Amino acid sequence: MRIFHTAAELRAALAGETGTALVPTMGNLHAGHVSLVELAKQHGSPVVASIFVNPLQFGAGEDFEHYPRTLAADCDKLAAAGCDIVFAPDATEVYPVPQTFTVQVADSLANDLCGAFRPGHFNGVATVVLKLFNLVQPRVAAFGKKDFQQLLVIREMVRQFNLPIGILAGDTQREADGLAMSSRNGYLSPSERARAPALQRELAAIAAAVRAGDREYEALCGAAARHLEMAGWDVDYIALRDAASLRPVDAATRRAVALGAARLGKTRLIDNLEIALGNPL
């Protein structure tokens, strides 16, 4: 596995490659990231994993300064997974001048759900991903379903900019107790970690009720939020949406997704569960 820190080195290494697969990450890797590398290997070669903590997607008061930087350990995991190239630039390499040109994500995606609580976040995500696409020129790129809204933002960006890149969606990887794997799980205290699977359980209860025919969506989501709040969580949202668009579920919906974001102590956790519907609602 080769490790590059500059765009010039990366472009030289990829010159002439037409089947590259990209796995963008912010590092502090876990088994979920490794699964994306394994998915990417099935669809392209060489596999490039980027490790870059993107300042553009962090808001005021968020954890940019404290986000774990674990490059050596990350490279060990990527090498064991069969990654071919790691691109680990610093901020001046990605943003050599002030980034006054940015991707503006449509309000319907940028300012809803997580975007309502993290203004500008998805513009920052889309901008850095577009930069990585330009640098790597991949044929495919892999993203995790845990960040479901992010996945839809990237898919829509690729569609609207006519980018010749296939977007691969990797299933959410979970701990034995159901907690979605996340780099931020390490922020949880032992007592918070023991309580953290409650978010997944509440989403699973919504999914089970919908599959059983319950159509009182607002009541289901409201009850889940109340259960979490009574257990000491600070809930941003619990919602049921169309999985293809993130619009509210309607008569045309055939696949829904239950999504949630909530804080346990100082740690913000997100999760989602897709719900296959056999017939339109």
- Beta pairing partners, 25: 51
- Within 10 angstroms of residue 119's Cβ, the number of other Cβ atoms is 12
Confidence bin at 102 (pLDDT 50/70/90): very high
Q: Map out the domains of the chain with their CATH numbers.
A: 2-170 (3.40.50.620), 183-272 (3.30.1300.10)
The mean of the pLDDT values for the chain is 96
Confidence bin at 276 (pLDDT 50/70/90): confident
- Give tens-digit pLDDT for 32-42: 999 999 999 99
Give pLDDT, residue 278: 60
Mean pLDDT score, 68-95: 97
- Give tens-digit pLDDT for 138-147: 999 999 999 9
State the catalytic residue, choosing from 30, 33, 66, 121: 33
- Give tens-digit pLDDT for 123-172: 999 999 999 999 999 999 999 999 999 999 999 999 999 999 999 999 99
Range list of β-strands (E), the chain: 2-4, 21-25, 47-51, 85-87, 140-144, 166-170, 234-242, 255-264, 267-276
Alpha-carbon distance 90 to 71, whole Å? 12
- Structure-block tokens of residue 167: 């977007």
Alpha-carbon distance 49 to 26, whole Å? 10
Give pLDDT, residue 225: 98
- Structure-block tokens of residue 259: 């999504």
Confidence bin at 280 (pLDDT 50/70/90): very low
Pairing of strands 255-264, 140-144: unpaired
Alpha-carbon distance 52 to 26, whole Å? 5
- Give tens-digit pLDDT for 207-261: 999 999 999 999 999 999 999 999 999 999 999 999 999 999 988 899 999 999 9
Angle at 89 between CA 87 and CA 93, to 5 degrees: 130
Task: Kindly report the three-state secondary structure assignment for every residue of 37-102.
Answer: HHHHHCCCCCEEEEECCCHHHCCCCCCCCCCCCCHHHHHHHHHHHCCCEEECCCHHHHCCCCCCCC
Angle at 68 between CA 79 and CA 22, to 5 degrees: 40
Q: How many Å is the Cα radius of gyration of the chain? A: 19
Cα separation values, 266 from 61, 124, 131, 134, Å: 11, 22, 31, 35
Pairing of strands 255-264, 234-242: antiparallel
Is position 33 annotated as part of the catalytic site? yes
